[in-house]
Chain A
Amino acid sequence: MTELKLAEQLKANDKVFTKSGHLFGLDEMKRKEENPGDYEALWHILSNMCNIAWEVGCKVSSSPIAVEGGDALWALHLPTGEAVCISRGITAHPGLLADMIRKFIDLGYEESPGFAQGDIFENNDPHYGGIHAPDFDTAMPIFYDGKLIAWASCVTHVSDSGSVTPGSVGFLNPDCYSDGVPVSMEKVGQDDAYYPWYEMRIRSRTRTPDFVLGDAKGRLAGCITIRERLMEVIEKYGIDFYLDSVHEFVEDSRRYAVGRVKTQTVPGRMRKSQFKDLAMKGKNVILNKQDVDCLMALPMELEIDGDANIRFSLRGASGSVPFGENIHPTALKSGLLNGYSHVIGFDMFNSGPAASWDVELPPSGSWANPFDVDWSASSGVAWAPRGAVDQQPLRGLRPVVPHAGLHRGDGGRLRHHDDRRVRRHDTARLLPRRAHPRAGQQRLARTWLQRRREQRLVHLHAQRRLRQRRGDRALLSDSLPGSEHRGRLGWLRPVPRRARTHRGVDGAQHALGDRVPVRRRRHAQQGAREPRDVRGVSERTRLRQLRGRYQREAVDRGGQASRARSGTCRRSHARPQRVRDGDRKPCDAAIPDPGASPELRPDDPHRLGWSGDGDPIDRDPVSIEDDLNKGWTLPKVAADINGAVVSENGSFAVDTRATEARRTEIREKRKQRAVPFREWWTAEREKVAAKENMDPAVLEMWRSSMSLSPDFGAELRAFWGLPDDFEF
């Protein structure tokens, strides 16, 4: 098609897009128009091909993370790196994979070391755009007739990347030097085999090298599968049809995304701030600099213009932190593409839509773009802050609500093909910061995500399995209609029995807000505390008594020595102590008591509900009655939060008239108790200026937010009427 070198082609592509507004200058989609049947057929075949690669790769890999957790993906790319189509799996990565290939080209690898069939290139290094060390991103160039005509890529999340703490989610990594074994934009193999030194490095520096290498084999097997099948496809359809069509797929997807934004959203500017606490002072950390309380600011601004271009900004993001919660902007953008695609919902997930995105480079030195200022920032977890932000576009794109006319479920569009069901992507991850149920955010609680079709129940079921294994009691997850105006059902999750003394560590990583009622949730494993307004089903089981009986056993497992080694993914190998009859003591720690001590003990269950949508006293009394009788809420909640007048006589009944009267009272009381905003503002700005009752962590957060984003700082000062030189 072209004789340009890839690096030149990249530049030419950028130019023509800027000029024409169409990727690759495709204002006409010749193949699609002339041959819609074969165009569509090719898409099917290529998608299928990627999914076959998934099957092969996962079976060869050794990782339940891939097979059951779905944290892997295989993809096909254009020669210049843009993703064309992907397998099921972790859709947070294709953006990153495309950028990685592009970077190989930009770095001049085409000249040296050159690209040849059978070459294996890899990166897991956040310094160069990787998301975090355990995610190994691989790409192999594919040649036909001597020309590079495609790339096969993939990612798997390995079980241990050699970071300072075992496992693959390095929250406690103080810096990048403890993030684990780096593979930095390297050629790690050729002729379809990894170099011996690559294997040696994995063996030298990871704790589970057989598993990590098993994953490597899986990645390789999947990529080779793509390559071999692609040859068959090209033989059948011809190289020209293939190359033309795959370019058109990317532009087609871009157009679709733009069109979809226009039917789903309202142009304008959305803003939502969010905060994540890392209250680590006094906890078991690794380096002294981590003995600190931090508060991270994750503000989001999203603006949609008349042409459906989307500008995303993280101005005001606070500085990098001495934990694994920082991220490279490329990875961040990739994650956003994931979220965005799910909200917009389109079934050609590839690099196209990214072209209509303008993700502003986050403030340099912030957790979202740390390296120019803090080269050593760790990305052990990386997706945690991104996860918080990930949801914002979803939420942000939904005030779209008015136009979409929906505040539920218009966000995601179903993929067609086999699976008709919308997987409600663990909506936990979609929720922005929330407050308590009685407050209720007025924006939508839910965006229905649809996953790639064959994600085969990945999240829902894998998590169901995981929850069941841990003795969770999962409540009805599709409780959509029931959650209007009240806290949404969640599920009770006992804290895993690990001999970890500081739930704070686990908690901080998992966004269990110590100080801030954070309501983000990414996977089922993560939780945010909810007030005990939401009833846990375990109250009907004997979990409480059982837990109580084994309380001591759980604590005995481990001991001082293991506490000292405590980290985020510690597994206790200590033999459980025999508990004799006389040792057992009853303990009702299963359900946290309201007056319980601030420290969460191992085995204390969390309730993973979340707050509702809308004014809780708007909730229909009939629904409240139903909630009560189903055991989904408590009488105290119905009374205090929903303002219902409840009686019990065998079953619960809500007196509609009395409830209305009570609610009228409540509204009056609210008005009396509240003050006009200006009045509050007048008093509050004095307190702000005086930094009254503001924890040092909060002050430090504002300091960094404002200095890293002077505009943001100016706006904040202007809002409170603070002098231009005011600092926190």
Chain B
Amino acid sequence: MSFDKAEIEMLMDGVLAWPAVQDMMREAKDEDRFDKYVEIVQERVPWDDRILLPLTPALSIVARDGRRIVKCRCGHEFGDYRVNWKLSSLIYVRDDEESLSEVYQGREMPDPSWTQVREYVCPGCGTQLEVEAVPRGCPPDFDFLPDLDTFYEDWLGRPLPDKAEYTDLTLATISEWTG
């Protein structure tokens, strides 16, 4: 089972007609969809680094100079994919009435002593990458740390040329900051 790249593209962009989406879901998983998907994402970015795994509509994990980093579609680089990319992002936090009420008015405004709304913005292009609504003290979610080597080698059957230990390096960065 295989779908046209054009169909995958429409699916990604949310314009594939619903019956077609259903048909797609009904079928067994097409084996080449991941590759087509990555190809499409690759075609849409202005840079050439090989995309290893798209992460979000704006961010991907790419291979760059022997490292694997998170990169925005605009080109801005966030660093090793094993460090929560949010640590390299711009952030705007709404933690008082004034800033919260820009988004939520009246009774719909959350209580700033319970919640802060964090907006992550790309330093390169200003795209809003992610939003969290969490109480003070909550470390930013490290949404997804993939085990890329297992994925490529064991599941896709084509190992990556390099290797990286599957481990969360976020706190290592933090401890550099705390010195």
| Chain A residues proximal to chain B, CB less than 8 Å | 260, 262-264, 266-273, 275, 277, 295, 305-306, 345, 399, 401-410, 412-414, 420-422, 433-436, 438-443, 448, 450, 478, 480-481, 483-484, 513-517, 529-532, 592-600, 614-618, 666-671, 673-678, 680-682, 684, 687-688, 692-695, 697-698, 701-702, 715-716, 718-721, 728
Q: What distance in Å separates the Cβ of A540 from its nearest Cβ neighbour in chain B?
A: 22
Taking chain A's interface residues, is the majority helix, strand, or loop, or is none over half, making it mixed?
Answer: loop
Give the CA-CA distance A541 to B175 in the complex, in Å: 58
Write the B33-56 contact mask toward A (1 if CB under 8 angstroms, else 0).
Answer: 110111000000000000001111
By the criterion CB–CB under 8 Å, are A667 and B125 in contact? yes
By the criterion CB–CB under 8 Å, are B107 and A403 in contact? no
Q: What distance in Å separates the Cβ of B66 from its nearest Cβ neighbour in chain A?
A: 21
20 contacts between A and B (CB under 8 A): A266-B144, A268-B144, A270-B145, A271-B141, A273-B134, A306-B150, A405-B36, A406-B11, A413-B26, A480-B18, A515-B110, A515-B113, A614-B57, A667-B127, A684-B93, A693-B113, A694-B136, A695-B113, A716-B137, A719-B171
By the criterion CB–CB under 8 Å, are B53 and A718 in contact? no
Q: What distance in Å separates the Cβ of B165 from its nearest Cβ neighbour in chain A?
A: 13
By the criterion CB–CB under 8 Å, are A616 and B53 in contact? no
By the criterion CB–CB under 8 Å, are A305 and B86 in contact? no
Q: What distance in Å separates the Cβ of A650 from its nearest Cβ neighbour in chain B?
A: 27
Give the CA-CA distance A305 to B15 in the complex, in Å: 33
CB contacts (< 8 Å) of A422 on chain B: these are 22, 25
Give the CA-CA distance A277 to B123 in the complex, in Å: 33
CB contacts (< 8 Å) of A405 on chain B: these are 8, 11-12, 33-34, 36-38
Q: What distance in Å separates the Cβ of B59 from its nearest Cβ neighbour in chain A?
A: 8
CB contacts (< 8 Å) of A532 on chain B: these are 105, 108
Instruction: Give the number of residues in B that approach A within 8 Å (Cβ atoms).
Output: 88
Q: What distance in Å separates the Cβ of A681 from its nearest Cβ neighbour in chain B?
A: 7
Q: What distance in Å separates the Cβ of A452 from its nearest Cβ neighbour in chain B?
A: 15
With A402-B37, A442-B56, A678-B177 given, is the CB distance from A273 to B141 under 8 Å?
Answer: yes
By the criterion CB–CB under 8 Å, are A701 and B112 in contact? no
Of B14, B37, B113, B125, the residue contacting A408 (CB under 8 A) is B14
Give the CA-CA distance A285 to B133 in the complex, in Å: 28
Most buried by B among A441, A677, A701, A702: A677
By the criterion CB–CB under 8 Å, are A676 and B90 in contact? yes
Of A271, A408, A515, A721, the residue contacting B111 (CB under 8 A) is A515
With A443-B56, A615-B58, A695-B113 given, is the CB distance from A687 to B136 under 8 Å?
Answer: yes
Of B34, B104, B125, B142, the residue contacting A517 (CB under 8 A) is B104
CB contacts (< 8 Å) of A728 on chain B: these are 137
Of B112, B127, B142, the residue contacting A618 (CB under 8 A) is B127
Give the CA-CA distance A116 to B103 in the complex, in Å: 63
By the criterion CB–CB under 8 Å, are B25 and A266 in contact? no
By the criterion CB–CB under 8 Å, are A698 and B133 in contact? no
CB contacts (< 8 Å) of A698 on chain B: these are 113-114, 135-137
Give the CA-CA distance A599 to B55 in the complex, in Å: 40
Closest A-chain residue to B32, C-beta based?
Answer: A405
In B4-28, which residues have CB < 8 Å from any A CB?
Answer: 8, 11-16, 18, 21-22, 24-26
Give the CA-CA distance A443 to B151 in the complex, in Å: 20
By the criterion CB–CB under 8 Å, are A481 and B29 in contact? no
CB contacts (< 8 Å) of A600 on chain B: these are 107
Give the CA-CA distance A666 to B115 in the complex, in Å: 25
By the criterion CB–CB under 8 Å, are B144 and A677 in contact? no
Cβ of B161 within 8 Å of any chain A Cβ, yes or no, is no
By the criterion CB–CB under 8 Å, are A693 and B25 in contact? no
With A480-B14, A614-B57 given, is the CB distance from A677 to B110 under 8 Å?
Answer: no
By the criterion CB–CB under 8 Å, are A715 and B108 in contact? no
CB contacts (< 8 Å) of B146 on chain A: these are 266-268, 399
CB contacts (< 8 Å) of B33 on chain A: these are 404-406
CB contacts (< 8 Å) of B90 on chain A: these are 670-671, 674-677
Write the B127-167 contact mask toward A (1 if CB under 8 angstroms, else 0).
Answer: 11111111111110111111110110011000000000010
Give the CA-CA distance A680 to B87 in the complex, in Å: 10
